[in-house]
Amino acid sequence: MRNRRPASTAFNDIAAGKVLTDIIFLDVDMPEITGMELVDLVKPFAEVIFITGHPQYSLDAFDKDVADFLLKPVAYDRFLKAIQRANVRLLQKHNSFFVKVNSKTQKLNKNEIIYVESKRNSVRFFLRGGAVIETLGTMEEILHSLGLHDFMRVHQSFIINLATIVSMEGNVLTLEEKKEVPIPSQIDQRKMAGSL
């Protein structure tokens, strides 16, 4: 493992956003802090897989909703299965996010979003079925939440779901449900063309 360092340093870097990771491997027995204590701190940031020689902690680990618990020595196929399980959980987790709408927090499924439009200090999500949800925030914050794999900022005021592109003519993108979004002429049309 290339990033072996004290648990407290690793946690501080993860919490501060200096280190981005999807899966964290922990042992129960570690210096400074136990894996059972650390899992509660890192769980909001990543999926956790325990690799340990302490079978008596397996129930405690699953009570903490970890992706998997592996006993040393670990067989390669069992290790791959743990990674696959963590990846499935990551996909489920990353398919939605929460936004604040007035006084409540609402869950949005990314695949329901056709496009996002900014208006001054607010952002509006245009969803399949015609619903529109408005929240406070910036386009940078929203793009960070959505990710660059399925979404693209095509204009300073618009982010589109690449899967919803129906056609492109001139400087206008037509999306599902006959939604139209203006695009500048210099936009990377190769990326969008791959979505058509």
Both tokens of residue 72?
Answer: 């040393």
Q: What is the pLDDT of residue 5?
A: 63
pLDDT for res 179: 94
CA separation for the pair 15, 11 (Å, rounded): 6
Angle value at C-alpha 172, between 170 and 176, nearest 5 degrees = 130
Sequence ranges of the domains in the chain:
7-94, 97-193
The pLDDT value given to residue 191: 52
Please give the sequence-ordered ranges of beta strands (E in DSSP) within 27-150, or none if there are none: 47-52, 68-71, 96-101, 104-109, 113-119, 122-127, 132-136
> By the 8 A CB rule, do 86 and 49 touch?
yes
* Lookup: tokens for 154: 């095509």
- Domain 97-193, CATH: 2.40.50.1020
Residues 11, 42 contacting (CB under 8 angstroms)? yes
Beta carbons within 10 angstroms of residue 164's beta carbon: 22
Report the C-alpha gap between 159 and 148 in whole angstroms.
10
Q: What is the mean pLDDT of each run of 10 residues along the chain (196 residues)?
A: 65 74 90 89 88 96 95 96 90 77 84 92 93 90 80 91 92 93 71 51
**Residue 3: what pLDDT?**
54
Amino acid, res. 21: T
The CATH code of domain 7-94 reads 3.40.50.2300
CA distances 139 to 9, 98, 133, 176, 186, Å, are 31, 15, 15, 21, 20
Q: Which pLDDT belongs to residue 104?
A: 82
